[in-house]
């Protein structure tokens, strides 16, 4: 409703009602930080090698049966093969000694026919150790990660329609319950397939929480609080959950227990039902003014201001009429908007591949995986704060391209860092994460400013779908590291640098009015 801000101006811009609602809604985003990236620990692959059954072998042959290869100048046991057991058993029975008269490297090899032994130095159990998702089944881990992002795609497509029909508040709390139940059921998964199916529901419910709570906050809060909520609040509270996750995982090394505990954290949100209001804006659009007025009057009471006798004028309510619905076809009709959309789709896809690629890669870095994940989450906090400050003063186009070059550039540099300087490589990776997080937060604002009002919702929806496709792809980009550890960095870095060049062809929006109907009117050169 166009005059809602005018009609509720008597509430002021801050006050106990707005601050309480601000913090309560933001706490919801902590749960999305908890549940967004636990696959980093749940899907981690500990060191492993072939299981050698309890057969009659000498100690020398038991030690030598696993082939050794040189990786980056160090000897590493093979994870997927062993010397043929029957041959080794015969050599052991004959009294032969490996390396003395018997060249073990010439012996025939076979797969891990009896299973694997996994190190328990870091994890007691993961889905990898539970269902042997290694060697020929290694692809199942990135596939499982992708099902979460497929859930994101499904959830982002339906959550908006559900919240428009049933209300923002109902969808937020139903989604919280669905997330809690999905994660709990996932902890009881009896197979990899069931785990993936439940992960899809986790993703759908989680993105639904994020979108619905985000919309509810923008509609309930005042103009001043709305800016703080959309630019910092939601992102920073997500980071709090993300930063807390590795410490919970550090204390709980068994994947089923970890998921059960993460599921249980959603219970704390039940009391919020009685403190978080429904969106009065949404109630008014549904013609339910009699429900909207008590919410606004309660806000006035808590802010200690007097509400007028009539808050929403009848004449204004009658003026509300359904406007034309715009679709993706309207975006394709204009050559200018079509080109802008194609460039935005590439940007969103590239940024999401880089952001989620680096987030999912923390368990593969050298050093402590829990600390690496914590550092990865921590780099996001200054990124969100700095980007919010820079967006007020700097041109969007230059700003976004700069941080894309920083993010992509350091990823291309990593391959030149020698293995003896692992801390330098880690610092570069975190710098890359900082760049991608900056780009992530800037591209949201930038894209919204580029599209005309009538096409903004459709355009953002298309870009969001492209982002989901990028995040679905990210686990497979990281999977390339099993063939060559620098491949993911080369691919993500090159794609990001290319997108930074594409971004330079988009129109600048700093200090420009938002376009209402036609991008071309405001940007004649483009």
> pLDDT higher for 523 or 109?
109
pLDDT band at residue 253 using 50, 70 and 90 as cut-offs: very high
287 vs 271: CA distance, rounded Å = 28
Do the Cβ atoms of 359 and 380 come closer than 8 Å? no
SS3 44: coil
Query: What percentage of the chain has pLDDT greater than the value 90?
Result: 25
Do the Cβ atoms of 479 and 142 come closer than 8 Å? yes
In this prediction, residue 318 carries a pLDDT of: 52
pLDDT digits (tens, 9 = 90+) for 230-245: 778 888 899 999 999 9
In this prediction, residue 269 carries a pLDDT of: 92
Winning range, highest mean pLDDT, from 92-101, 193-202, 329-338, 357-366: 193-202
In this prediction, residue 324 carries a pLDDT of: 58
pLDDT at 314 over 80: no
Q: Can you say how many angstroms the Cα of residue 200 is from the centroid of all Cα atoms in its chain? A: 14
Sign of the torsion angle spanned by Cα atoms 412, 415, 420, 426: positive
pLDDT at 522 over 60: no
Q: What mean pLDDT do residues 288-306 have?
A: 83
pLDDT band at residue 117 using 50, 70 and 90 as cut-offs: very high
Query: What percentage of the chain has pLDDT greater than the value 70?
Result: 90
In this prediction, residue 183 carries a pLDDT of: 95
Q: What mean pLDDT do residues 411-415 have?
A: 83
Do the Cβ atoms of 411 and 496 come closer than 8 Å? yes
pLDDT at 1 over 60: no
> pLDDT higher for 270 or 510?
270
78-110 exposure pattern, b = at least 16 Cβ within 10 A, e = fewer: bbbbbbebeebeebbeeebebeeebebeebeee
Q: What mean pLDDT do residues 251-277 have?
A: 93
**Among 177-191, 250-264, 472-486, the least confident range:** 472-486
In this prediction, residue 313 carries a pLDDT of: 67
The angle at the Cα of 285, spanning 283 to 290, to the nearest 5 degrees, equals 40
SS3 393: coil
In this prediction, residue 199 carries a pLDDT of: 95
Do the Cβ atoms of 20 and 302 come closer than 8 Å? yes
Q: Return all residues near 17 (Cβ < 8 A) that are at least 6 apart.
A: 11, 298, 299, 302, 303
pLDDT at 290 over 50: yes
Do the Cβ atoms of 40 and 364 come closer than 8 Å? no
6 vs 11: CA distance, rounded Å = 10
- Summary mean pLDDT of the chain: 84
pLDDT at 483 over 50: yes
Inter-helix orientation angle 380-391/369-378, to 10°: 10
CA proximity to 356, closest of 229, 495, 449, 525? 495
Could you tell me the pTM of the whole model?
0.82
Tell me the sheet residues that pair with 110: 82
In this prediction, residue 430 carries a pLDDT of: 87
Q: What mean pLDDT do residues 498-511 have?
A: 84
Q: Report CA-CA distances (Å) from 285 to 31, 295, 318, 443.
A: 30, 15, 11, 30
pLDDT at 72 over 70: no
In this prediction, residue 523 carries a pLDDT of: 41
pLDDT digits (tens, 9 = 90+) for 190-210: 999 999 999 999 999 998 898
pLDDT digits (tens, 9 = 90+) for 10-31: 878 888 888 999 999 999 999 9
**Among 66-70, 301-305, 379-383, 512-516, the least confident range:** 512-516
pLDDT band at residue 97 using 50, 70 and 90 as cut-offs: confident
Q: What mean pLDDT do residues 446-473 have?
A: 77
CA proximity to 192, closest of 249, 155, 154, 138? 138
In this prediction, residue 28 carries a pLDDT of: 92
DSSP secondary structure string for all residues of 115-154: -EEE--SS-SB-HHHHHT-SGGGTTHHHHHHHHHHHHHHH
Do the Cβ atoms of 212 and 196 come closer than 8 Å? no
pLDDT at 94 over 60: yes
Q: What mean pLDDT do residues 436-452 have?
A: 81
H/E stretch holding 345? helix 335-360
pLDDT at 526 over 60: no
The pair of three-digit structure tokens given for residue 162, joined into one six-digit string? 């559900």
- What's the distance, Cα to Cα, between the start and end of the chain in Å? 32
What is Dmax (Cα atoms) for the chain? 101
pLDDT digits (tens, 9 = 90+) for 129-142: 999 999 989 999 98
Q: Can you say how many angstroms the Cα of residue 262 is from the centroid of all Cα atoms in its chain? A: 17
pLDDT band at residue 155 using 50, 70 and 90 as cut-offs: confident
DSSP secondary structure string for all residues of 482-522: GT-TTHHHHHHHHHHHHHHHHHTTSPP-TT-PPPSS-HHHH
376 vs 239: CA distance, rounded Å = 10
Q: Return all residues near 328 (Cβ < 8 A) that are at least 6 apart.
A: 458, 462
Q: Can you say how many angstroms the Cα of residue 105 is from the centroid of all Cα atoms in its chain? A: 45
In this prediction, residue 513 carries a pLDDT of: 59
Cα Rg of the chain (Å, integer): 27
């Amino acid at each position: 409703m166009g005059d809602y801000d005018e009609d509720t101006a008597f509430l002021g811009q801050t006050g106990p009602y707005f601050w309480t609602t601000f913090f309560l809604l933001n706490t919801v985003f902590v749960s999305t930080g908890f549940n967004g990236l636990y696959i980093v620990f749940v899907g981690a692959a500990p060191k492993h090698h072939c299981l050698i059954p309890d057969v009659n072998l000498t100690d020398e042959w038991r030690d030598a049966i696993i082939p050794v290869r040189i990786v980056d100048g160090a000897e590493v046991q093979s994870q997927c093969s062993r010397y043929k057991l029957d041959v080794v058993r015969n050599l052991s029975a004959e009294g032969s000694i490996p390396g003395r008269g018997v060249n073990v490297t010439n012996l025939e090899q076979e797969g891990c026919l009896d299973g694997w032994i996994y190190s328990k130095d870091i994890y007691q159990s993961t889905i990898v150790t539970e269902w042997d998702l290694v060697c020929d089944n290694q692809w199942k881990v990135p596939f499982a990660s992708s099902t979460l992002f497929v859930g994101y795609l499904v959830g982002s497509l339906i959550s908006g329609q559900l919240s428009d029909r049933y209300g923002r508040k109902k969808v937020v709390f139903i989604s919280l319950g669905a997330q809690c139940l999905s994660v709990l059921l996932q902890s009881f998964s009896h197979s990899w397939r069931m785990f993936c199916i439940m992960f899809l529901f986790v993703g759908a419910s989680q993105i639904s929480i994020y979108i619905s709570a985000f919309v509810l906050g923008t509609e309930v809060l005042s103009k001043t609080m709305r800016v703080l909520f959309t630019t910092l609040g939601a992102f920073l509270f997500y980071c709090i959950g993300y930063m807390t996750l590795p410490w919970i995982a550090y204390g709980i090394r068994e994947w089923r227990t970890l998921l059960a505990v993460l599921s249980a954290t959603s219970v704390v949100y039940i009391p919020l039902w009685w403190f978080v209001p429904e969106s009065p804006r949404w109630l008014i659009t549904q013609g339910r003014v009699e429900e909207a007025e008590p919410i606004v009057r309660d806000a006035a009471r808590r802010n200690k201001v007097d509400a007028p006798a009539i808050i929403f004028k009848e004449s204004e309510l009658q003026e509300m009429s359904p406007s034309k619905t715009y679709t993706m076809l309207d975006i394709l009709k204009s050559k200018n908007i079509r080109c802008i959309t194609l460039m935005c789709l590439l940007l969103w896809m590239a940024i999401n591949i880089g952001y989620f690629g680096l987030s999912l890669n923390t368990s593969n870095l050298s050093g402590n995986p829990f600390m690496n994940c914590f550092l990865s989450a921590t780099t996001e906090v200054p990124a969100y704060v700095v980007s919010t400050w820079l967006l007020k003063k700097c041109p969007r186009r230059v700003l976004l391209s700069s941080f894309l070059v920083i993010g992509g550039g350091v990823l291309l540099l990593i391959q030149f860092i020698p293995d003896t300087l692992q801390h330098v490589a880690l610092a570069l990776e975190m710098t890359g994460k900082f760049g991608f997080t900056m780009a992530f937060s800037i591209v949201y604002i930038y894209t919204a400013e580029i599209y005309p009002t009538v096409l903004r919702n459709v355009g953002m929806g298309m870009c969001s779908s492209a982002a989901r496709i990028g995040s679905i792809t990210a686990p497979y980009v990281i999977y390339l590291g099993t063939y060559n550890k620098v491949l993911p960095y080369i691919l993500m870095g090159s794609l990001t640098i290319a997108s930074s060049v594409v971004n330079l062809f988009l129109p600048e929006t700093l200090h420009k009015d938002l376009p209402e109907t036609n991008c071309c009117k405001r940007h004649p050169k483009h």
